[in-house]
Chains A and B, each alone.
Chain A
Amino acid sequence: MVLIRDLAIQSAQMLLVLLLAPLFTGFVRKAKARLLRRQGPPLIQPYLDLARLMRKDVVLADNASWLFRVIPYLVFATTWVAASLVPTFRTGLLFSWSADLIAIIALLGSARFFLALAGLDVGTSFGGIGSSREVMIASLAEPAMIVIVFTLALIAGSTQLSTIAAFMTSSAVGLRVSLGLVLFALIMVAIAENGRIPIDNPATHLELTMVHEAMVLEYSGRHLALIELAASLKLILYVSLIACLFAPWGIETAGAQLPALAVGVAAYVGKLAVGGFLLALFETSIAKMRVFRVPEFLGAALMLGLLATLLRFVSASF
């Protein structure tokens, strides 16, 4: 009975994340449009886009291989699995102990690995641009993320996301300097990993301003739909991660009474709304960086994370 209830909650989390991801993307676009004094597309536009893409034929390049056709499913599967392991309305999910924060980052890393391979598959120059820039950004963003995980693990005493989230909701956490530095660094890394402004522009399809779009240039139909859905899932994963670590109010830590869970879901949706608005505000107020300034940006995030880890190693009161 307990097992069935836990399984139901885990499945609910997976479905919730999957269903909310396009809505979140739509909300961010709408907020950006409104901030620029435009009407903007309707909130459910991403759902309509996905439905339209799913119905279309897939047009494959003549020399695309079997790997090209399998990769969208792989990317979607790994991103979805990673997103379902981040606590949104309740910690202590059934399968939360099968992958800790390092494994979640590595799952996102494997999604990126396969997407970069997809960029190189058809043998065009645009795919190569996207893949080479993506791995350059990843070569600095991933270590920054790992040192952030180090700091969090040193503060909370565990790399399990449920344990860290439960620790953050308890009163033992206190206001730590290293937590402040980690928040800063995590926001920087989240922007880089999701390809938002100032790293990459998710709205354009021009060669000079794209990294992610260049890698998926040759995809169409249901494959493109899956990749777009995976990108939305990644965005919602990072926002949920920041919310569960730094704004953990409302997350249910134990028990499973329906009203408490409903409160948790409502709190989560509220946090997503605030996060989406802040993201839109940030994106409209800053310009995109030149590609070779991105390493400086991410290097700064890596240094901040390393500083936080160092402070934590040096004294437990930091």
Chain B
Amino acid sequence: MTLTVVLCGAAALLALAPVAVALSGVPAASRLIYGGCMAASMVSLAVALAHLLAAAPVETITLPLGIPWLGAHFRIDALSAFFLVVVDLCAFAASLFALGYGQHETEPGRVLPFYPAFLAGMNLVVIADDAFTFLLSWEFMSLSSWALVMAHHCVPDNVRAGYVYLVMASFGTLALLLTFGLLAGPDGHYTFTQMRAAHPSAGIGALALLLALIGAGSKAGVVPLHVWLPLAHPAAPSHVSGLMSGVMTKVAVYGFARIVFEFAGAPVWWWSMVVLAVAGVTTVMGVLYALMQHDLKRLLAYHTVENIGIIFIGLGLALAFKAYDMPVAAALAFTAALLHVFNHSLFKSLLFFGSGAVLNATGERDMEHLGGLIHRMPQTAFVFLIGCAAISALPPLNGFVSEWLTLQAILLSPQLPSWGLKILVPAVGAMLALSAALAAACFVKAYGVTFLGRPRTRAAEDATETDRFSLAAMMLLASLCLLAGILPGLFIDALAPVSSALIGERMPAQIGVRWLSIVPIAAGRSSYDGLLVFLFIAASGMLAAFAIHRLASDRLRRAPAWDCGYPDASPATQYSAMSFAQPIRRVFGTSVFQARESVDMPPPGDTRPARLTVHLRDLVWDFLYAPIAAGIGMGADRLNRLQFLTIRQFLTLVFSALVILLLVLAVWS
């Protein structure tokens, strides 16, 4: 029944796309379409949540669509239900946000038809049960999001972003195609049920893991396949950016988890080393890239790369524990990864919605042109602050819970017998800690430069608060962040069926633990109580405020800023995003980005200002993609000669191809 409802929801979303085309030009079309998407997502969310919480049995359906002898198989189990919850919750929030945000869209006809299609594609990927349906839905999801990225095609950066996105998405789909081809085997077992039952050899499993890491990883954004993400995510409209960063990357994580944990067979220990190494590098590189940005949306996109790294660290640890037959530890690592999937989708969407609100109010995405928005947009500033605190893993919000669980899983690793893992896991733990600290720095910069301080341009001075739909969506996500941080036990218990299905074991039940704390392994070993910490902090703060206001003074007066006695009226004297990141750029950037600062001083007598330029090199682009692009260009130039042959030479080509095929047929027994 659940599956039927979800399929109907997806069909409704697909039906909304041509409706949007038909209604283009009607002013109320935007509200209508987004309202319809909201309703469909809410229904799917409700049934998926019910399925997950009730730990309902698996449902399958085969529809007579697609390939004649195969049909289209759909299935909903615990993993699908969880990812459906993630997808539909953020889809609901994004559609609610877009009810207000979409009114400012200059070309709604380029956005409205593709948005429901995008949502439908994501829903279908998660419930697909055979390789063809999966890949079809995956490509559909990519293409509809590409169309959304190209919505504002007059900006030249967006055109380049769309091109890179298309190339990388095709590459990813190719890798996934090869994966499924490998797993299907010579007999063509394309349904997931058959793949689940088949036990591939270790070689096939390893190859499937690598190809899945490349294919799903490129969509998720692991380094070095992340290059399209910071170009494409900011180019799309803000609600779509939120969905792409918060949800589409998670759908890629779903694909990876499905392939590696269910189809690739029993894991071997070195698989986890590959995943952990890639994940560690992704985490640190993602946050370092984010620190160097001053475009708000690009900073958020790079930060998604870091969080994907954290999720893959959890998945790698789960693989390692599973390979060595330690199911309880594997369940902990896997649950930590899934909880981070949920948490990240919440706060990343919230932050993108906030940046969308800022973009609407000021027309600026560049932090260097903003500032002081906390006075002009107080509610947006408040929810954005909650999002920043959540993503920086500060207790008592939800980001801290999933990082804490991942760290606890890392602390269980000395029991692993492999030497390589014994050396790699502490290094990955240190990288995780480093990236957490750098993430906090990144978001102090993002929030402080955008919302605090003094306005740097006219646009920032004249900003107004956003509409109530956008605020409602953001408040919803912010309160969910707080809830997940205060009552993490509920969410961990909700994930229990997923880890039972994929790992074979679940974390200890959190529901009975006293005072609603969470105990991941054993009571004496470690525990955390988000609710108590929150109450403690609130009580101490209020007690201090009360005591001081009663017993000491509560008088206040306003005056110009002190600034050590040298106040400067120009808002250009305050710290900008690039200057805030300068110490960290000096420490980390000189080696990772070859960051160089150069000062161009005018000669005496010249009245133009001196100019400080920061040069950063993206080493991944320069050493991986640029040579590949150059090689392809060279190869294409050589092959171009095939265009200019004479008729006799063309006929020779055809003749030799025919002869070779006949030879093969003759020789091959």
Contact = CB atoms under 8 A, between A and B. Distances in A.
Q: In their complex, do chains A and B touch, with some C-beta pair under 8 Å?
A: yes
A27 interface: no
Given A135-B441, A159-B408, A217-B562, A76 B544 contact: yes
Interface of A: 54-67, 73-74, 76-78, 80-81, 95, 97-100, 102-103, 106-107, 109-110, 112-113, 116-117, 119-129, 131-133, 135-136, 138-143, 146-147, 150, 153-154, 157-160, 163, 207, 217-218, 221-222, 226, 291-292, 295, 302, 305-306, 309-310, 312-314, 316
B371 A123 contact: yes
B552 A55 contact: yes
Given A65-B374, A127-B575, A139 B561 contact: no
10 contacts: A61-B561, A73-B544, A95-B532, A100-B528, A124-B573, A131-B444, A135-B445, A140-B437, A142-B433, A218-B563
A45 B355 CA distance: 47
B228 interface: no
Contacts of A139: 434, 437-438, 441, 584, 587
A116 B573 contact: no
Nearest to A132: B580
Given A147-B433, A153-B411, A102 B423 contact: no
B548 A81 contact: no
Interface string B425-464: 1110110011011101101110111001110000000000
Contact of B583 (A133, A157, A306): A133
B304 to A, nearest CB: 20
B603 interface: no
Interface of B: 371-372, 374-375, 378, 381, 385, 389, 392-395, 400, 404, 407-408, 410-411, 413-414, 422-423, 425-427, 429-430, 433-434, 436-438, 440-441, 443-445, 447-449, 452-454, 515, 517, 523-529, 532-533, 536-538, 540-541, 544-545, 548, 551-564, 567-568, 571, 573-575, 579-584, 586-587
Contacts of B410: 150
A159 B449 CA distance: 36
Contact of B541 (A76, A109, A113, A138): A76
B366 to A, nearest CB: 17
Contacts, number: 282
Contacts of A141: 437
Given A61-B562, A123-B372, A306-B427, 8 more contacts: A55-B553, A77-B541, A99-B528, A116-B448, A117-B447, A125-B574, A132-B584, A313-B426
B553 A56 contact: yes
Contacts of B581: 132
B430 A302 contact: yes
B437 A131 contact: no
A222 B411 contact: no
Q: Secondary structure at chain A's binding surface: helix, strand, loop or mixed?
A: helix
B540 A61 contact: no
A138 B407 CA distance: 19
B414 A312 contact: yes
A159 B584 contact: no
Contact of B372 (A56, A63, A136): A63
A313 to B, nearest CB: 5
B400 A106 contact: yes
Contacts of B538: 77
B338 to A, nearest CB: 20
A158 to B, nearest CB: 5
A89 to B, nearest CB: 20
A150 B557 contact: no
A80 B545 CA distance: 14
Contact of A138 (B375, B437, B517, B551): B437
A135 B444 contact: yes
Contacts of A129: 575
